[in-house]
Amino acid sequence: MKDILSVAAIVTASVIGTAAFAEDMFWVVGNRAANSCDIVTRNPVIDGNIWFGDGPYKSMSDAKLARSTIRACPPVTEPAPADQPAQADDNAGTAEQAPQ
């Protein structure tokens, strides 16, 4: 009986430890329906439209780097941060006209 209780305690501890370990992790998943690769924070289930998963990665920047190296993933352009306006061409609208 003691053996069964100790095995149950070990299994419970490993399940809880695994769930806590995966809390701050990131995975790259291929989404067939959207023809894109997304970064998710839960271990993906490979089923239906999700056709591959890669990871886990310890940070978002690691996952983004991995996504950029996976051939099946289309290139992603990051939007400009919302707190900074997009940079405009300094010479736009101020073109000098050549003398005639």
53-76: pLDDT as tens digits: 999 999 999 999 999 999 989 887
Domain membership flag for residue 3 = no
Question: Is the pLDDT at 100 greater than 90, yes or no?
Answer: no
Domain membership flag for residue 63 = yes
Domain membership flag for residue 80 = no
How would residue 23 be classed by pLDDT, with cut points 50, 70 and 90?
confident
Q: What distance in Å separates the CA atoms of residue 95 and residue 81, rounded to the nearest whole number?
A: 29
Domain membership flag for residue 9 = no
C-beta separation of 53 from 77 below 8 A: no
Task: Name residue 57's beta-bridge partners.
Answer: 26
Domain membership flag for residue 81 = no
Domain membership flag for residue 7 = no
Whole-angstrom CA distances from 56 to 18, 49, 69, 77 are 12, 20, 15, 22
Q: Where in the sequence is the domain holding 43, given as residue range(s)?
A: 25-75
Q: What's the total number of domains in the chain?
A: 1
Domain membership flag for residue 29 = yes
